[in-house]
């Protein structure tokens, strides 16, 4: 995957696309995505937000120091790799929580659509995985 990925600041500062009480058709929103990677804030919920991510390939290693991140796969298959070598595979309608501070990256098998929930303006720290040496 070689798309332009957002910086940590762009990721944290993105505003919700839809307002409270506005009906959102997530299938229509994901169909609009033509890029290889798009992760957008759809709605704000209290001090959290719901993001819709549509992508192919792998995302970079990162962690969120102060927020858990819930992944729910709508379509496709999402692998979540952890710095310690563990890996989780999520298929349609499966979900998993990555605890705050956990270094991870996501890898989509084909075009994958997933929803994530995390704290609004979540800090993201991009890192290289620890070496096996």
Is 70 domain-assigned?
yes
Q: Is residue 66 part of a domain?
A: yes
Q: In whole angstroms, what is the distance from residue 81 CA to residue 27 CA? A: 26
Residues in the chain: 133
Query: Which CATH number do you get for residue 27?
Result: 2.60.120.10
Range 6-33 average pLDDT: 92
Q: Which domain holds residue 58?
A: 8-126
Please indicate, yes or no, if residue 113 is contained in any of the structural domains: yes
Confidence of residue 128 (pLDDT cuts 50, 70, 90): confident
Give the strand pairing for 62-63 and 95-98.
Answer: unpaired
CA separation for the pair 83, 128 (Å, rounded) = 9
Q: Quote the tokens at residue 30.
A: 């994901």
Q: Which of 11, 20, 42, 1 is nearest to 125 (CA)?
A: 11
Residue 15 falls inside a structural domain: yes
What is the count of structural domains for the chain? 1
**What is the residue-averaged pLDDT of the chain?**
92
- Main-chain dihedrals φ then ψ at residue 11, nearest 5 degrees: -60, -45
pTM, two decimals, is 0.89
- What is the predicted pLDDT for the residue at 130? 53
Q: Is residue 1 scored above 50 in pLDDT?
A: no
């Amino acid at each position: 995957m070689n798309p332009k990925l957002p910086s940590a600041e762009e990721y944290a500062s993105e505003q919700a696309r839809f307002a409270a009480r506005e009906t959102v058709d997530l299938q229509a929103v994901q169909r609009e995505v033509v890029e290889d990677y798009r992760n957008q804030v759809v709605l704000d919920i209290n001090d959290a937000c719901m993001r819709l991510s549509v992508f192919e390939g792998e995302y970079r290693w990162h962690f969120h120091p102060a927020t858990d991140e819930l992944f729910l796969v709508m379509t496709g298959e999402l692998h979540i790799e952890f710095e310690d070598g563990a890996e989780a595979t999520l298929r349609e309608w499966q979900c998993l929580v990555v605890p705050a501070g956990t270094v991870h990256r996501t890898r989509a098998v084909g075009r994958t659509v997933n929803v994530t929930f995390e704290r609004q303006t979540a800090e993201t720290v991009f890192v290289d995985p620890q070496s096996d040496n």
